[in-house]
A and B are shown apart, each in its own frame.
Chain A
């Protein structure tokens, strides 16, 4: 199965298809994690994106029912150097290609992914079309050019849950898999689902919280009516400025209840505090980003996945800078001097990625303790 990846700048990569025979449009981004493609595929933050892995051998460990961050894969298409049809791992139950096929997602392999990454690094993220059925290069390039920009698109509406639900599954262990919470937690947390990764919920449960997940459009009053001990703002896809209703709701919560935000949730909190967000050239997508916790001076290796960031200058005294990215000095975390809230741009729940930042869940619990 021949496959083409056409970019909005006119570049076309030709490779071999795997997964579904179809066509997908999205913003092309690259991820530098060497492990964890299944978690990446199922991270709703990738909605609207074609993801290229910089690590060249993908599919080695197949897929299994456990390593999922949501109910299904959310990437629009998957781009790798070499795809493996025959997984080798004791937990694998299916090949990656079959999994993608089941979810009608196309994959392309056998292209010079490093050349693609260098292109994206130099030009910034581009829209692209991945087709495993149509070989008309011109049409595909045209389609890529006509695809809407990430900026201004409300992708959250496509991934958030339809109605509230409770979550009681804790973190994974090798021996026991996922364990259910033994009983009600010490703290009741309402989690906004802007495209939430399950490992965030698992970490909240693990930290002793009872968790209710609510749709992105839930107004502040409805959340406050549930009398939560804390509110969590989740990760999610796309442009934070395109979901003004979320910032609006958060404004209604600030100061009234402890808040913890991750990724898009962090950006929304930044907007709610009066800051601004902007689009990064090619974002941060990987598991090796160094972040310094300015409160302790310690460096943590973090899992990241974002194309937008909060403008440090725009916050101007409205919040305190707590974490900074040591690669490019971008804002990675903020807290309020007086009000009980904090957020980070990166992913302390990891999955995939290192667990260095896991302490932030403890920090959230401590905050709720203090505010009780």
Chain B
């Protein structure tokens, strides 16, 4: 059945900002869908609020809207673009939820927009717990005993009916936000109320706990002829009870016989048919009782999911691309398999390797949340590894995480423990459980004991046992070394075990010719010839890498997403691949993050799905002998490798590793600034606590302290006095020789600016100067920012330009550079310089309409900016605001105050003609609906009180009732502002938290300073977060929000595409 010709324009909804549970896998799926639909000749209209995505690059759609994902905005967009159809299944839960809202509001019907890929009935049947349960019973499948509660009373009734332990899952939330397992009455009561609050429709599923059962997932595709195929089966190493996004998962399923597997397959086919997903991919999760095989269906996602991204990368079958083609009418047998070219897409991939996905956590950033894993997802990224055996695959996965763990070593595991403490670590799922399993074997536990505690299937445990047993027999003798490498041991791990250096192990290996072979991911177990070089390493003999004699450039990707290093860097890597392909180079991508566009096999000419360690990268370099390697696009991960790779003779192109070092090394950087006559805040370095105190006294409090060489402001804090400094040193850092602490003057009340610039070695051009909305002291990744700057004087901007260019020239930057400036009372300070792609490159590129990363890649291979058409800085006439998105709701007990340590997971962009509207859009995009009326609650520290007066007056004029705590209310009242007084929490009920809970506060401005005030007001901010009250914790943010409210009161928000902003439409 050929494609439909009655459709012209198709609307795609993206997934919005990166949040826990919804990461860049939806950029991957959306990009694939855009490409596939454009390829078929459709006019594609895309909307996504996330500027860091590849899909929002103007060339991927005919019209690209970087606008908030709300019903009102979507309706405007639909009126404007008149799409014939909407494809809702490639933008995650966000797109699906929005589609339901659009349908329920009658907007789709009114404008004649047809849903393709999934219909509302099917979506509801899959998403609504009652309907889903009924559907499963209809086809004779079991589901765990459960019930739905809409009120706390319902929840109490269910507790009695089903009995503890129970799982609570809020409806329609991302990654199971607000859910968990309750073993006790108290836990249950707390989770039930939190879950009801988290659900946008105030609904929770209360379910029989089947924690400990085996967990499986199947990825299913169906076409409109009712042909159904399974793309991949996945088995979770962590049994039921841990969110699948937080589980180590393995493809294919390892511990089922064919008869048992076919039960799952038959059930999957029956489910997709019963639910009625017309075309496209779905993900179905099953639990299997380990002792009886009893099957329970857990859930079904009637859309492309995180698991489908994983399944695509694990098998080479591009699920999102095929789903898009099926949605426009093709059938599976009409679509070719890109990899074999000869065979159709109507088949089930078979794989001849083992894939391991491992989540990356960030508990260290949210110290108040204990490291327990539950049914609520908490990981911020993941790595995937491929090996010919599970042992090899698992050990590669461990080192892919980049947590300084190169196998089952002590570093990744943290503290050593024994006895009941160890038993608890095995029994209660946590981020480091797999390392504890390894250690349990070292301490003499057997598989049966570890299984009894962890319920991890003995097959997985036995694999770990074999690895630990092999630790005893490793040596540098050729046979032993080859055996160890085939089991996946890294050189670093072997070096530790043998008390040698990594280089010694490597040399021993090379002497004996023990090098990896590269094998192809081909969907078919080598039954057919593969035409796409998608490769992984393994210690076997036959190599399939088919190295060409072409000029080639290798791009090192960013590895697993984490806070501080995410999709923005993948965006840059992908652009480098595209640009260099266009310039005639063979492009080689190395990365291990399955969620990304960079690991799509058609992004570059060759893809090596490998860990980004020195060893793994060198193995590829030795095979491919690239003409150049790019390390400056993937964030800190490849940058850390620059010097070791260069030392090993690898040709690093672009800015030299020496220049990178000049910018990163404190002393060399200071020398550079002195030479150029530029200023940085006073600073010092300390190797002991006393040195730190002395340095701080010399610089003058407040100071900013942080450990050296960290990314994303890890463990960085502003301290105001000596006591706080000593407290920080005790609590937050390990100080000592080789582990110094850096101390900087903290510029109070300074404006921060971020500059992205590009240089070809001769000409430096500023890409954009972004002004932060929050004052200095808030991590640049967490601060909202405006491009162009909205308040800084032109002569200051010129000075910033001058300094940027001077530094770029002196460093000899070839490629991108990012500089952070602070401006205090008109004086310009340099905070830091990063001669590499920054987090803001995609944002700037989208605002100015120039693909900076692409140009940077071209200059790195010797071209000049002038020849590439970039001759001057482009200062846009429109305004764009980038706002950060935070995971606080996922981390109970964590404060929402912003500081020097980065905590945001993603970003959105608001773009419009004025700053106020752009800011309001950015807030809306980030999920903050600015209120147009109601009550504003104000409680600020003394230093902020003068700045609050104007804000209070404006809010008052805008019709808001104001309430405030004692000091704030008095201060404002004295200055003629009408404001009511309300109790602080400590003053007793009725206090501000009561009012928030009662829904009587609609906006909150709260800026406490000092640890006491912050501790006292913490419940306020948590309450605002949980009850979804827009809140601002900086005066600058509050001022911008007030401006946004004023603009919104004057009228609704309009929409405009990037193509129009860039004057290309």
Contact = CB atoms under 8 A, between A and B. Distances in A.
Interface of A: 30, 32-36, 38-39, 54-57, 60-61, 64, 66-67, 81-82, 84, 86-91, 112-115, 117-118, 121, 172, 174, 286-290, 292, 297-299, 301, 326-328, 350-355
Contact of A91 (B254, B257, B294): B257
Contact of A34 (B331, B347, B350): B350
A301 B226 CA distance: 13
B229 A326 contact: no
B261 interface: yes
Contacts of B292: 90
Interface stretch (B239-247, B503-511, B521-529, B977-985): B521-529
Name the prevailing secondary structure of the B interface residues: loop
A209 B295 CA distance: 30
A34 B252 contact: yes
22 contacts: A54-B352, A54-B526, A55-B352, A56-B353, A57-B389, A60-B254, A60-B255, A88-B462, A112-B542, A114-B352, A114-B388, A114-B542, A174-B259, A286-B525, A290-B346, A299-B332, A326-B343, A326-B347, A327-B347, A354-B230, A354-B262, A354-B265
B527 A33 contact: no
Contacts of A90: 290-293
B346 A67 contact: no
A88 B348 contact: no
Contacts of B389: 56-57, 81-82
8 tightest Cβ-Cβ pairs between the two chains A and B: A36-B258, A54-B525, A352-B258, A115-B542, A88-B459, A35-B258, A288-B348, A112-B540
Nearest to A34: B252
Contact of A114 (B225, B253, B457, B526): B526
B333 A38 contact: no
Contacts of A67: 257-259
Nearest to A285: B527
A113 B524 CA distance: 14
A114 B257 contact: no
Contacts of A86: 458-459, 462
Contacts of A38: 257-258
Contact of A299 (B262, B343, B346): B346
A287 B348 contact: yes
B1016 interface: no
Nearest to A112: B540
Given A88-B457, A328-B342, A354-B348, 10 more contacts: A38-B258, A54-B350, A55-B350, A67-B259, A286-B525, A286-B527, A290-B344, A290-B346, A297-B225, A327-B344
B258 A32 contact: no
Interface centre among A30, A87, A354 (most CB of B within 10 A): A354
Given A55-B352, A292-B333, A33 B346 contact: no
Contacts of B353: 56
Contacts of B6: none
B257 A64 contact: yes
A124 to B, nearest CB: 13
A115 B540 contact: yes
A299 B227 contact: yes
Given A174-B263, A353-B258, A288 B349 contact: yes
Contacts of A60: 254-255, 459
Contact of A326 (B346, B352, B524): B346
B698 interface: no
Contacts of A117: 352, 525-527
Given A61-B255, A64-B257, A298 B225 contact: yes
B390 interface: yes
A39 B259 CA distance: 10
Given A90-B290, A350-B262, A56 B255 contact: no
Contacts of B827: none
A30 B344 CA distance: 21
B258 A290 contact: no
A121 B528 CA distance: 8
Contacts of B397: none
B185 interface: no
Contacts of A57: 254, 354, 389-390
Contacts of A299: 225, 227, 331-333, 346
Interface centre among B233, B258, B388, B524 (most CB of A within 10 A): B258
A28 to B, nearest CB: 14
A87 B457 CA distance: 11
A17 to B, nearest CB: 16
A33 B258 contact: yes
Contact of B527 (A34, A115, A121, A352): A121
A283 to B, nearest CB: 10
Contact of B347 (A64, A82, A172, A290): A290
Contacts of B254: 57, 60
B218 to A, nearest CB: 12
A351 to B, nearest CB: 7
Given A115-B542, A327-B343, A353-B258, A33 B350 contact: yes
Contacts of B542: 112, 114-115, 118
A62 to B, nearest CB: 9
Interface string B345-369: 0111111111000000000000000
Contact of B348 (A114, A118, A301): A301
B622 interface: no
B459 A56 contact: no
A292 B349 CA distance: 17
A112 B541 contact: yes
Nearest to B539: A112
Interface in B240-297: 252-263, 265-266, 290-295
Contacts of A353: 258, 262
B903 interface: no
Nearest to A113: B352
A91 B293 contact: yes
Contacts of A174: 259-260, 263, 293-295
B519 interface: yes
Contacts of B346: 290, 299, 301, 326
A209 B233 CA distance: 35
A115 B332 contact: no
Contacts of A350: 262
Given A88-B459, A301-B229, A121 B526 contact: yes
Contacts of B257: 35-36, 38, 61, 64, 67, 89, 91
B388 A81 contact: yes
Contacts of B255: 60-61, 88-89
A61 B519 contact: no
Contacts of B458: 86, 88
B347 to A, nearest CB: 5
Contacts of B261: 35-36
Nearest to B266: A355
A14 to B, nearest CB: 10
Nearest to B483: A110
A354 to B, nearest CB: 6
Nearest to B333: A299
B540 A114 contact: yes
A35 B257 CA distance: 6
B201 to A, nearest CB: 36
B227 A298 contact: yes
B394 to A, nearest CB: 12
Contact of A289 (B259, B266, B347): B347
Contact of B524 (A32, A87, A354): A32
B342 to A, nearest CB: 7
B726 to A, nearest CB: 53
A98 B331 CA distance: 46
Nearest to A120: B526
A297 B223 CA distance: 13
B347 A56 contact: no
A371 to B, nearest CB: 30
A201 B643 CA distance: 67
B333 A290 contact: yes
Interface string B448-479: 00000000011100100000000000000000
